[in-house]
Amino acid sequence: MMQSAFASLCQGNEANRPYTFEQLLAGVMQLLPMLDVIPNATIFIKDTQARYALANRTLVQRCGLKHLQPLLGKTSADVFPAQLGPGYTEQDRRVLEQGVVLENQLELHLYGSREPGWCLTHKWPLYNRAGTIIGLAGISVDLQTASESHPAYQRLAAVDAHIRAHFNRRVSLAELTRIAGISVAQLERYCKRVFHLTPRQMIQKVRLEHAHRLLQTDLPITEVALQCGYTDHSAFSRQFKASTGFTPRQYRDT
């Protein structure tokens, strides 16, 4: 996987860690031409203040820029809209201050039309030889369309349809495996290959898409949570914030 290779390159084992952030950056900079040709992923390195020190062309373009230089030294909060930037920067600070590793974080991105777009985000703290965090590396991969050529596609399309019809209640893995006629392990594996998500992420994605639409109405947030399949309002708020950077109320007020 591209993200695993990038993480290994940036972190490495202790003996191969750089002495300084500048030394690490110089090594990765040589790969920037290769990173620039990846159209479906934003790739970046940030310093300990969560400021961009390197980014590929895809990220530069999504920030509305033509060149990398104007992006350098800025945080996500500086360059992304209010619906996105502060949440990204808050996430960066968790990585930088706590050493948190984020993997396969399903995130809802809102574009100019305010229609949702999805990606899987990965962020890793970067360490020097002394074991001190000197920055972070990240990659957000656009969620790809379903692979209809996979032999199990028809079975999994039925699973997807079932989730979309019943997301407003608890959907168990057991009922999904019955629909597909395969084991839990096969369901997990095939869903990753066809939809690029786990079954639980598929459920989460549908619920959050519906929440995104309902939060643009005057419906009370507790009712939004219930209609999206969350019996616990606080669980809904945590999940929504993890995917958007905002609580439901903050998102509604932006």
Give residue 74's pLDDT: 97
d(CA 205, CA 228): 11
The answer to whether the beta carbons of residues 32 and 45 sit under 8 Å apart is no
Report residue 9's pLDDT band, with 50, 70 and 90 as the boundaries: low
Taking residues 212-229, report their average pLDDT.
93
The domain that contains 28 carries what CATH number? 3.30.450.20
CA-derived radius of gyration, the chain: 20
- Of the ranges 24-28, 72-76, 147-151, 210-214, which is most confident? 72-76
DSSP 144: P
Average pLDDT over residues 53-74: 92
Percentage above 70 pLDDT, the chain: 91
Residues 94-103, mean pLDDT to the nearest whole number: 95
Apex CA 86: angle with CA 92 and CA 45, to 5°? 35
What is the pLDDT averaged over residues 83-96?
88
Angle at 225 between CA 220 and CA 230, to 5 degrees: 160
Q: Is 111's pLDDT higher than 90? A: no
**Over 60: is that where the pLDDT of 114 sits?**
no
The helix/strand/coil state of 113 is: coil
Residue 148 resides in a domain: no
Are 69 and 179 part of one and the same domain? no
176 in the same domain as 100: no
Residue 158, domain extent = 153-253
Q: Please tell me whether residue 3 adopts helix, strand or coil conformation.
A: helix
Mean pLDDT of the residues in the chain: 88
**Would the pLDDT of 125 be above 50?**
yes
Q: What is the mean pLDDT of residues 44-62?
A: 94
**Rounded mean pLDDT, 86-97:** 92
The total of other beta-carbon atoms located within 10 Å of residue 34's CB is 10
Q: How confident is the model at residue 112 (pLDDT cuts 50, 70, 90)?
A: very low
User: Which has the minimum average pLDDT: 27-31, 100-104, 170-174, 224-228?
Assistant: 27-31
Whether residue 51 is contained in a domain is answered as yes
C-beta atoms surrounding 115 within 10 Å: 10
Is residue 84's pLDDT more than 80?
no
132, 171: one domain:
no
Number of domains in the chain: 2
Q: What 3-state DSSP class applies to 81?
A: coil
- State residue 27's pLDDT score: 87
The answer to the question of residue 147 being in a domain is no
Q: Please identify, among 142, 170, 188, the residue that sits at the C-terminal boundary of a domain.
A: 142
The region of weakest confidence among 67-71, 126-130, 148-152 is: 148-152
- Please give the average per-residue pLDDT across 227-231, as a whole number: 93
Return the pLDDT at 115: 58
